[in-house]
Amino acid sequence: MEKISKYRSNIDQIRQELKKFESKYQMSSEVFFDKFESGKLGDEGDFFEWAGLYENVVLYSQRINSLESVLCPTAREI
């Protein structure tokens, strides 16, 4: 459970950084990432940083889900 708490803390910290980009570019990180991945945005340094931060949130979320399914398998069956 300690790892899950650490991942959640990391996600919270990264989301604070994501909010700066979302405010600056007036779009959610989800919308940005879809556009970035499809090549609809340029190659600005900000975009690569933003994409990396968003990918980390996705990765940490996946790890949390994996750990929770192993540690609490009955909770996912409900």
Q: Mind listing the pLDDT tens digit for each residue in 9-22? A: 999 999 999 999 99
Predicted confidence band of residue 73 (pLDDT cuts 50, 70, 90)? low
Q: How far apart are CA 71 and CA 75, in angstroms?
A: 9
State pTM to two decimals.
0.83
What is the structure's pLDDT at 68? 86
24 Cβ contact partners less than 8 Å away, ≥ 6 residues apart: 46
What is the structure's pLDDT at 71? 78
Where helices occur in 1-78 by DSSP H, the ranges are 2-25, 29-37, 45-71, 73-77
- In the chain, what are the domain boundaries? 2-77
Closest CA to 11 of 47, 69, 48, 60: 60
pLDDT at 45 over 70: yes
